[in-house]
């Protein structure tokens, strides 16, 4: 494991000044830190635990679960999926109440929404998606296409960017039932133009399903304002819900009467405790629920959502997401500047967008030795992640990450690259 240097590097000096001026710096102490981790650069894969979650989980076990037992379903738990969904909608994805629900994993919710969208366009035979999307999205689509006899029309975008409006316009047509895209590309961090792409898909008569896994909690998402139809997102990244935390689904209210999800569980019915013989779906967003809601798994993200709301109080009239987005851009700018100044001479390339308007909260760097170097960094307590074939993602969760932490991690990377270069020269 690396130790703190006795003298600050130029990057560390700059980072110290940025931390001193950061209005969100105090939030870092609200997260659980561990001495074995000196620089966590993978908040876009799994967020750090919020310290308040210890008390929340203990309270659930000691008070609600132990004291109320099955009564808690009637008192609070039955409404937890929609209550928490509305909180995510209000604070993180720009959705009015009654359109968001917390339920299953991202994969299961993707399946439900893809099938529901295709069933809502029964006369259309094509799905539009892109080859650079996360494997789950592509695999779910391939499976559903095989089930339903649909054809997938693949967009092949620039891997260093993402899907463009023109590419969607050239691919979607009168036989397109659904367009499925990620709002933020998981490799490059490119932000797709949600409003323009949604409008183009609607012109073709198609529905659009947005994957928000790398968006929610890090950038300003406005589903209602952009006219989005459907969305799904995980909660263990920037919402800090913990490993295996349940995902959320969004269905625009205008579609509630036409969308029917395929996994008809009893808790998605209009009256679950009537124990009816035939399935009758809930008229609203609750129909997306199938089985028993994961109450334990819903707890941790509530503490992060509270921090997001609190962050909005740093400036009058500013939402928490707006404040978080400002710091995200400052952090990613810092990484790009560092790469240009200290890593480029070793052959490291920045493949994420340099334009901040279309850059999410992670920066992907490329180098032929990054698979090996990522493992070496982990041994030193510096934790980025590796994405084949040669990408290292620097994922920056703004409330839990300091500039000093980022500088320390990048200095260790530069040290390893320098050592390799010296060995090669020798």
- Annotation says 211 is catalytic: yes
Backbone angles phi, psi at 208, to 5 degrees: -125, 130
Residue 33 tokens, joined: 């830190």
- State how far the alpha carbon of 319 is from the alpha carbons of 44, 92, 160, in Å: 21, 10, 30
Residue 210 tokens, joined: 């947005």
Helix (H, G, I), strand (E, B) or coil at 327: helix
- Annotation says 31 is catalytic: no
Backbone angles phi, psi at 151, to 5 degrees: -115, 140
Element (H, E) at 365: strand 362-366
> Cβ distance 171 to 128 under 8 Å?
yes
> Cβ distance 209 to 179 under 8 Å?
yes
* Catalytic hit among 40, 236, 238, 403: 236
- Annotation says 134 is catalytic: yes
- Annotation says 236 is catalytic: yes
Q: Which residues of 382-399 are buried (b: 16+ CB within 10 A; e: fewer)?
A: bbbbbbeebbbbbbbbbb
7: Cβ contacts below 8 Å, ≥ 6 apart: none
Backbone angles phi, psi at 385, to 5 degrees: -135, 160
Q: Say how many C-beta atoms besides its own lie within 10 A of residue 248's C-beta.
A: 32
* Catalytic hit among 130, 211, 385, 411: 211
Largest CA distance in the chain: 78
Query: How far apart, in whole angstroms, are the C-alpha atoms of residue 380 and residue 386?
Result: 16
* Catalytic hit among 14, 19, 30, 134: 134
Q: What is the 3-state secondary structure (H, E, C) of 194-230?
A: HHHHHHHHHHCCCEEEEECCCCCCCCCCCHHHHCCCE
Residue 304 tokens, joined: 């992060």
Query: How far apart, in whole angstroms, are the C-alpha atoms of residue 103 and residue 80?
Result: 10
Query: How far apart, in whole angstroms, are the C-alpha atoms of residue 244 and residue 233?
Result: 13
Q: Which of 320, 301, 300, 318 is nearest to 310 (CA)?
A: 320
Strands 248-251 and 230-233: antiparallel
* Catalytic hit among 48, 124, 325, 393: 393
* Catalytic hit among 150, 237, 325, 359: 237
- Annotation says 349 is catalytic: no
Query: How far apart, in whole angstroms, are the C-alpha atoms of residue 243 and residue 160?
Result: 28
- State how far the alpha carbon of 81 is from the alpha carbons of 54, 71, 77, 239, 247, in Å: 21, 17, 8, 15, 10
Instruction: Give me the active site residues, please.
Output: 134, 211, 236-237, 393
């Amino acid at each position: 494991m690396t130790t703190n240097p006795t003298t600050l590097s130029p990057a560390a000096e700059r980072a110290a000044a940025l931390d001193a001026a950061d209005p969100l710096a105090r939030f870092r102490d609200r997260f659980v830190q561990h001495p074995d981790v000196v620089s966590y650069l993978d908040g876009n894969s799994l967020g750090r635990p919020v310290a308040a979650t210890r008390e929340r989980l203990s309270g659930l076990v000691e008070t609600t679960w132990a004291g109320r037992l099955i009564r808690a379903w009637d008192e609070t738990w039955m409404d937890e999926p929609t209550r928490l969904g509305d909180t995510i909608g209000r604070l993180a994805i720009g959705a009015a109440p009654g359109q968001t629900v917390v339920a299953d994993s991202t994969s299961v919710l993707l399946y439900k929404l893809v099938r529901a969208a295709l069933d809502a366009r029964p006369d259309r035979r094509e799905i539009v998606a892109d080859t650079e999307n996360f494997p789950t999205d592509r695999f779910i689509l391939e499976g559903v296409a095989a089930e339903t006899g649909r054809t997938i029309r693949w967009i092949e975008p620039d891997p260093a960017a993402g899907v463009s409006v023109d590419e969607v316009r050239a691919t979607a047509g009168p036989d397109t039932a659904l367009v499925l895209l990620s709002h933020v590309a998981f490799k490059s961090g490119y932000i797709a133009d949600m409003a323009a792409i949604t409008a183009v898909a609607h012109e073709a008569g198609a529905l659009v399903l947005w994957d928000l896994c790398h968006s929610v909690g890090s950038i300003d998402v406005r589903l209602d304002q952009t006219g989005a139809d459907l969305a799904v997102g995980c909660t263990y990244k920037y919402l800090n819900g913990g490993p295996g935390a349940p995902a959320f689904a969004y269905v625009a209210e205008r579609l509630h009467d036409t969308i029917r999800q395929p996994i008809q569980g009893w808790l998605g019915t209009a009256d679950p405790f009537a124990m009816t013989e035939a399935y009758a779906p809930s008229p609203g967003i609750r129909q997306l629920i199938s089985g028993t809601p994961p109450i334990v798994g819903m707890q941790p993200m509530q503490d992060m959502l509270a921090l997001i709301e609190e962050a909005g109080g740093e400036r009058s009239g500013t939402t928490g997401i707006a404040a978080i987005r400002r710091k995200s851009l400052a952090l990613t700018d810092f990484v790009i500047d560092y790469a240009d100044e200290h890593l480029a001479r070793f052959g490291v390339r920045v493949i994420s967008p340099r334009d901040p308007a279309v850059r999410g909260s992670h920066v992907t760097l490329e180098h032929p030795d990054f698979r090996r170097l990522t493992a070496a960094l982990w041994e030193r307590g510096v934790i980025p992640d590796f994405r084949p074939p040669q990408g290292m993602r620097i994922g920056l969760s703004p409330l839990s990450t300091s500039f000093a932490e980022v500088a320390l991690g990048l200095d260790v990377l530069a040290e390893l690259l320098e050592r390799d270069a010296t060995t090669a020269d020798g």
